[in-house]
Amino acid sequence: MIKVMRERHCKPDNGEELKKLLEELRSKALQRNGSYSFETLRSVDDHSVWLSIASWTFAEEWETWKNSPERQEIINKMVPLLSEPVRESVFEVAR
């Protein structure tokens, strides 16, 4: 299992729109093979910071979703709402 963490920094006044797009992304991701869970968190200290944590059974399934046109369409809508590039980290569960 892998965990994909993506940190996004939202421009002022774009939080609600970003939240809607993250909910759409979550909904579609959870329909994909290998998708296990998807959480969206917002920083308590800085409301412009959002963190998504997705769990996938295998890295290959994440890569398939990551590169899908369906996902890219949603991501393209997010880009103008962000104040800096997305930071992504992928971890595997230690056993």
25-46 per-position pLDDT tens digit: 999 999 999 999 999 999 999 9
Query: What number of residues does the chain have?
Result: 95
pTM as predicted: 0.91
Q: How many CB atoms lie within 10 A of CB 78?
A: 19
Please tell me the predicted confidence (pLDDT) of residue 75. 97
Distances (CA, A) of 80 to 4, 11, 18, 71, 95: 22, 9, 10, 16, 39
Facing residues of 5 across strands?
53, 89
Residue 93 has pLDDT above 90, yes or no: no
Evaluate if residue 83 carries a pLDDT over 90: yes
Q: Taking the mean position of all CA atoms in its chain, how far away is CA 31?
A: 14
